[in-house]
Amino acid sequence: MSCGQPHDKDCGEVLNSLFLFLDNELDSASCREIQQHLDECAPCLAKYDLEHVVKRLVARSCGEHAPDSLRQRVLVQIRQVHVEITEARRPGLSS
């Protein structure tokens, strides 16, 4: 995506880093670059605002914790899928 305006940081790069920015998972230099871009770019700011609102709504709506038994079943399934993907990517092991 591009708004058509010149920026130091490309709109696509900003949008690809948006969730990391929202979660405070970027270094301070990257945060400054993204914040500067958002200050200059209305379309990216609108996308940021939307994602920020959704993130807050989800956080507010998801206050309950899953039972430990469910958590364990989900983790087992994730591990199983991970193993299947890893084995499928190995050369010479296709089904």
One digit per residue, pLDDT tens: the chain, 95 residues? 556 677 778 898 999 999 999 999 999 999 999 999 999 999 999 999 999 999 998 888 877 788 899 999 999 999 999 898 888 887 765 44
What is the pLDDT, as a whole number, of residue 1? 56
What is the pLDDT, as a whole number, of residue 95? 47
Length of the chain: 95
- Is there a contact between 34 and 26 (Cβ–Cβ < 8 Å)? yes
Structure tokens at 8: 């130091």
> Is pTM beyond 0.85 here?
no
Q: Which residue has the tokens 């199983």?
A: 80
Q: Which residue has the tokens 């058509």?
A: 4
Q: How far apart are CA 14 and CA 37, in angstroms?
A: 8
How many Cβ atoms sit within 10 Å of the Cβ of residue 31? 15
